[in-house]
Structure 1
Amino acid sequence: MSAALPADTVAAPRARKAFIPLECNPELMTRLVHDLGLSSRFGFVDVYSISDPDLLAFVPRPALALLLVFPVSESYENARLEEDATLEDWNKKGEEEDPMWFKQTIRNACGMMGVLHAVANGARELIRPDTPLSRLLDRTRPLGRLDRARALEESDELEVAHKHAATQGDSAVPNAEDEVELHYVCFTKSAKNGHLYELDGRRKGPLDRGQLGEEDDVLCDKAAAVVQSFIDREKQSGRLDFSLVALTPTFD
């Protein structure tokens, strides 16, 4: 699973604001969340396999969240539209909301949305007080989905941190208005009900992907099977441009 420059599908509507696509680079993403306020004891690492025990052994556990980068293909779009047609728009907020979900209205911001979903749910208790992350989450948690999306658009701290990270990667820096065909989704485990959730700002809300065991993290077999379903869907087309990173403890 190699690094990629993910963002939104070419079919996405034009947003009021656009971000430079964020490279799927665990070192860059770790610096980003540390700058925003996450504890330095946690960061992102590459996941090179979801089935090989030897490669999985290199990933510190527990894995608190996964960020998957995948091609936005016709088969994916068809599956997304079919499932979304059966769902209502997410209307939870505040203490009743679990997991916390952000609607994406910023163009090419799916990388930042994935990072926000990862830390707001998988690592909420690990955010330092009086930091950009803590202030952003405190401000947006009581808001409905549209006001919350607007608050992200208006956050200067978020925009500055994202721009700094997006221009520091190993790949050529794309333009914020570029059309790209890769996308991020986040997977986290609910602390309240133990379910695995797929979090994607392009969807209608969080997607419940089933119950996990009490001791399971987001790299357990059940969670890996959900990730594998994205890969299996693209086997017919031969698309192999997937990347996977995990939010985990860091060890010196």
Structure 2
Amino acid sequence: MALDQTASSVGGDGKKSAWPPLESNPEAFTALARQLGLQPGYEFVDVFGLDPDLLMMVPQPCLAVVVLFPTQCQVLEDFRKKQKETIGVAGRETEQKKSSEDYVYVHQYVGNACGTFALCHALWNNQEALDAASPLLRFLADAMSEITKEQDNNSTGPAEKPLAALLGEAFMNFNDVREKHAAIASDARLNQTAELAATAKVEEHFTAFVRKSQGGSSSRIVELDGRLRVALEHEDGKPEADLLHSVAPLIQKNFFDVAAGSENNFAVLALVKT
């Protein structure tokens, strides 16, 4: 199975942090999600291909889609940089848009943690699937409280960072999820490859897709990759269809076609209600 990406990252406070990489494995994702509050009746499953017959094998409804892709494919990396410039949304300022943004996005400042970031983005943006006592919900509540408090105490300070950056800095100290991540990443029963150290250099990265309503029957597909520092907002070509069927053409166009068959180290997982 393919693995998580980046060896180490530097947070907003200048500290380096890295976790052991998480395997692209639905059992591992589901096990970690359960520990983070995912309720029974929801799970992560493999998506074995984008052909209609294979998509129909995936339980519906699909709440989120997670894609693992190779970062050593330079043409794909260049394409994603262009996407960042053309359809990227830098994120809300902490006060200006705090109540109007309808999705949770967090910058990734922890190396080798992109699998868990993709998982968390899937869950944060489908909170109906979480138990009320979820550590992820507690993190958001505690982090927002601290951010608001600091903002009130520094009302005349320098220009604010986007909320996604502040949440990313807070996430670096989220010991509960770090410990749960490490336990899952080191569990031989849930992984088909040998455990890698936090400092290991791996060359794949995870991103997550969710759907957000724009009112009425209109919606958009939001791609949440903490490494990009912006969320990517895609047109929803099939708003009446299950999410996976709307995201599949985006994966084909923006990943498989761009790589042009030169890379095959992709994997797709879906968060579904069973």
TM-score under structure 1 length normalisation: 0.88
Determine which of 97, 102, 107 is the counterpart of 1:103: 107
Tell me by how many angstroms 1:23 deviates.
0.3
Aligned residue for 1:187, secondary structure, equals strand
Tell me by how many angstroms 1:98 deviates.
2.2
Match status 1:225 vs 2:254: no
Structure 1: distance between partners of 2:113 and 2:9: 13
Tell me by how many angstroms 1:108 deviates.
1.0
CA contact (8 A) 1:17 1:106 kept: yes
CA contact (8 A) 1:6 1:182 kept: yes
Structure 2: distance between partners of 1:37 and 1:50: 29
Q: Counterpart in 1 of 2:91? A: 90
Structure 1: distance between partners of 2:213 and 2:41: 20
CA contact (8 A) 1:68 1:185 kept: yes
Q: Counterpart in 2 of 1:158? A: 177
1:170 alignment partner AA: Q
1:49 alignment partner AA: G
CA contact (8 A) 2:47 2:270 kept: yes
Aligned residue for 2:196, secondary structure, equals coil
RMSD across aligned C-alpha pairs, in angstroms? 2.0
**Matched ranges for 1:231-246 at <5 A:** 231-235=256-260, 238-246=262-270
Aligned residue for 2:206, secondary structure, equals strand
CA contact (8 A) 1:50 1:56 kept: yes
CA contact (8 A) 2:84 2:230 kept: no
Tell me by how many angstroms 1:125 deviates.
1.4
Percent identity of equivalent pairs: 29
2:169 alignment partner AA: R
Structure 2: distance between partners of 1:140 and 1:187: 23
Q: What are the ranges of 5 or more consecutive residues in structure 1 without an aligned counterpart?
A: none
Tell me by how many angstroms 1:64 deviates.
0.6
Match status 1:188 vs 2:210: yes
TM-score under structure 2 length normalisation: 0.82
CA contact (8 A) 1:65 1:187 kept: yes
Structure 1: distance between partners of 2:207 and 2:127: 18
Query: Residues 100-130 of structure 1: CA distance to partner in whole angstroms, max 9, x if unpaired?
Result: 1010000111101100110111x21121112
2:130 alignment partner AA: I
Q: Counterpart in 2 of 1:62? A: 61
Q: Give the stretch that moved more between structures: 84-93 or 171-180.
A: 84-93
Q: Counterpart in 2 of 1:136? A: 139
Q: 1:162 to 1:110 in 2, by over 3 A?
A: same
**Matched ranges for 1:17-96 at <5 A:** 17-53=17-53, 55-72=54-71, 73-86=73-86, 87=88, 89-92=90-93, 94-96=98-100
CA contact (8 A) 1:99 1:206 kept: no
Query: Residues 59-114 of structure 1: CA distance to partner in whole angstroms, max 9, x if unpaired?
Result: 10011100000101211221222333455632255432222101000011110110
Q: 1:78 to 1:213 in 2, by over 3 A?
A: closer
Structure 1: distance between partners of 2:236 and 2:176: 36
Count of aligned pairs between the two proteins: 242
CA contact (8 A) 1:6 1:181 kept: yes
